[in-house]
Amino acid sequence: MGFRRQNPTKLRNKKSAAEGQERDQIKRSFAQTNKVNYLEIDANTKVAINSILENELIRLAKRNKVEFSVKPRKLTTAETKTLETAFIWNDVSVKEAIAKCKTIKEFRERFPAAQDYARKHGTWVELSKSLKRVTEHGKYTKEYVTKAAKECSTRNEFKQKHKGAWAAAQRNGWLLEVCSHMPKHVQKPWLK
């Protein structure tokens, strides 16, 4: 099936019209040599195009002895579900999905499209309040960071020796607490 959208302003020009006819002939010959069904629609309204398509589909159905009806039929449950999943996310459905999860990580893994919807529509912060944020996981727990900080006498030493622990303390807001035993600023002896 081939389509060509005609621009009325270009058709006024004889050269453009001739080029369009030449391209149409190439399409027709290609379809003929490769035994491709080619339908050329000479219409410019949706109603006319729909009518031509319906008539062609009916003709093809009769030729192939297949039952075909232009009238809409009732969709099966499986078909309805397939259509619904494409447009499943709204604020209500995101809330329902959040209710099924305990943590943000679990929600993100189970319903990534729901999180995308909420972020794009600016409702993520409000909707995700009931979910727990897992911050103390892996190597850099608060206990580990506190222990690493106690090994150091200055903030700079802490930052140099334990870069990951320093970053975790900054990210989680523990830096002031774990560095409370350290002086805030040590004057260099030669600058005194």
Work out the pLDDT band at 192, boundaries 50, 70, 90: low
The predicted pLDDT at position 1 comes to 47
Pick the residue with more confidence: 192 or 166? 166
The predicted pLDDT at position 191 comes to 64
Can you tell me whether residue 103 is helix, strand or coil?
strand
The predicted pLDDT at position 161 comes to 92
φ, ψ of residue 137 in degrees (nearest 5): -145, 160
Give the highest mean pLDDT range of 10-14, 104-108, 122-126, 144-148: 144-148
Q: pTM of the prediction?
A: 0.32
Can you tell me whether residue 81 is helix, strand or coil?
helix
Give the DSSP letter of residue 76: P
Asked whether the predicted pLDDT for residue 150 surpasses 90, the reply is yes
183, 154 Cβ separation under 8 angstroms: yes
Based on the number of CB atoms within 10 Å of its own CB, is 117 exposed (0-12), middle (13-18) or buried (19 or more)? buried
Percent of the chain with pLDDT over 90: 10
Tens-place pLDDT, residues 86-112: 567 888 888 888 899 888 888 888 888
Alpha-carbon separation of residue 183 from 30, 33, 99, 151, 180 (angstroms) = 82, 86, 46, 14, 8
